[in-house]
Amino acid sequence: MILEVADIRIRPGQQAQFEEAAHRGLSTVIAKARGFRGYKVQHSIESADRYLLLLEWETLEDHTVGFRGSPAMAEWRGLVAAFFAQPPFTEHFKLVALPGTS
């Protein structure tokens, strides 16, 4: 399992509209993508315009190849890109297991 973290800054004052659009896109467009396992939308307490989208994918390629190479990518961006104050910063993460566990 891979965690995609999209660090997003939106235009000021558009929180409610962005949250609605993000949830709609995540629960309709992205939810249908192969390998997609779930998501959380996290809103910064200190930075009102900052969100972290935490998305779980079965494999890295399910996101970077499968989703990004599909028409769903444009559909998703069509829903949310207008709210972005700057391009999101996205990286992928692997859970580090506790020593002695797997």
Answer whether 67's CB lies under 8 Å from 33's CB. Answer: yes
- Report in angstroms how near the CB of residue 34 gets to a copy of itself at its nearest: 19
Separation of CA 87 from chain center: 13
Is residue 9 classed exposed, middle or buried when 0-12, 13-18 and 19+ CB atoms within 10 A define those classes?
A: middle
Of 59, 65, 75, 93, which one interacts with a copy of itself (CB under 8 A)? Answer: 93
| Contact set for a copy of itself, span 43-82 (CB under 8 A) | 43-47, 50-52, 60
Contacts to a copy of itself by CB under 8 A: 2-3, 5, 19-20, 23, 27, 40-47, 50-52, 60, 91-96, 98-99
